[in-house]
Amino acid sequence: MAFELNFMPQPLTVLEASLEDPTRQELADAVEAVLDQLETDPGEPTLGTTNFVTEGYRHIRSTPVRRDGWVVIWQLGTTGEQLDIVFLGYPEQPSGATPS
């Protein structure tokens, strides 16, 4: 089953900037590889995804890009076939978040 990726404004802007910057091509390739894997099977154990529970969101997940410390932070969308990409980049730990 393929998932539809729904990008919030921040990760979409970061992704577009990375794709346009030739000095960040390796990072852009790594991000795209993770997004492709999430689209195919977000539960794949080799992705190394960590699940967090926060007060303001449902379960939110952080999948490492394995390049420059970047992560893709996402949650399941309103349908069972959608993933909401809410953050892309080098994160600080969200306040109040605890790994589950």
pLDDT tens track for 21-57 = 999 999 999 999 999 999 999 999 999 999 988 776 6
Task: Report pLDDT for 26.
Answer: 93
How many DSSP H helices and E strands does the chain contain?
2, 6
- Residue 73 or residue 94, greater confidence: 73
Task: Report pLDDT for 53.
Answer: 82
* pLDDT tens per residue, range 73-92: 999 888 889 999 999 998 76
Query: Is residue 72 within a helix (H) or strand (E), and if so which, with residue range?
Result: strand 71-76
Task: Report pLDDT for 59.
Answer: 84
Q: 4-99 falls under which CATH superfamily?
A: RelE-like (3.30.2310.20)
Residue extents of the structural domains in the chain = 4-99
Task: List phi, psi (to 5°) of 78.
Answer: -75, -20
Q: How far is CA 8 from the centre of its chain?
A: 11
